[in-house]
Amino acid sequence: MSQIELITIVVDDYDDAIAFFVDLLSFELVEDSPSLTNDGRRKRWVVVRPPSAVSGILLAEADGVVQRAAVGAQVAERVGFFLRVDNFRATFDRLKAANVEFTSPPRLEPYGEVAVFRDLAGNKWDLLGPIP
């Protein structure tokens, strides 16, 4: 069986991105290793993922004009990432208290409670609670 192992989010800074995903979203830092670009320059291989998840996020520091332009715009202002949590209200309140930007108030949908927030790069995420 195939599975998606990683997706990439282009960020401005590795350490700021790690702090956001690990400290605020409670993801695990799976790997932070030195690596090289295809043309031999130094970079880092940084992977985070929610606890117990199989798929993770490769945090890629923007390299060059095209990649810097993609920071926060990877899915053209659509919600492109979805984070389901067990306790919606506690997570929402914790992120709100940490000044995470929510672009919509919580609402109830057939697929669970939902509120849209932006990550540190500006990408939109759905914070999803349990299905009622």
Give which of 53, 44, 55, 49 is closest to 11, Cα–Cα. Answer: 44
pTM of the model: 0.92
Residue 20 is part of which domain span?
1-71
How far apart are alpha carbons 5 and 30 in whole angstroms?
12
Q: Are residues 79 and 132 in the same domain?
A: yes
Domain count, the chain: 2
Residues 5 and 55 in one domain: yes
pLDDT tens for each residue of 86-127:
999 999 999 999 999 999 999 999 999 999 999 999 999 999
State whether 31 and 92 are in the same domain.
no
44 and 20 share one domain: yes
The one-letter code for the residue type at 111 is Y
In this structure, the answer to whether residues 8 and 62 fall within a common structural domain is yes
Tens digit of each residue's pLDDT (9 = 90 or more) over 20-72? 999 999 999 999 999 998 899 999 999 999 999 999 999 999 999 999 999 99
83 and 127 in contact (C-beta within 8 Å)?
yes
Q: Are residues 43 and 92 in the same domain?
A: no
> What is d(CA 13, CA 52) in angstroms, rounded to the nearest whole number?
25
**pLDDT value for 76:** 93
110 secondary structure, DSSP code? T
Could you tell me the CATH number of the domain that includes residue 124? 3.10.180.10
**Integer Cα distance of 18 and 25 in angstroms:** 10
Residue 95 three-state SS: helix
21 with 65, same domain?
yes
- Pair (88, 62) in one structural domain: no
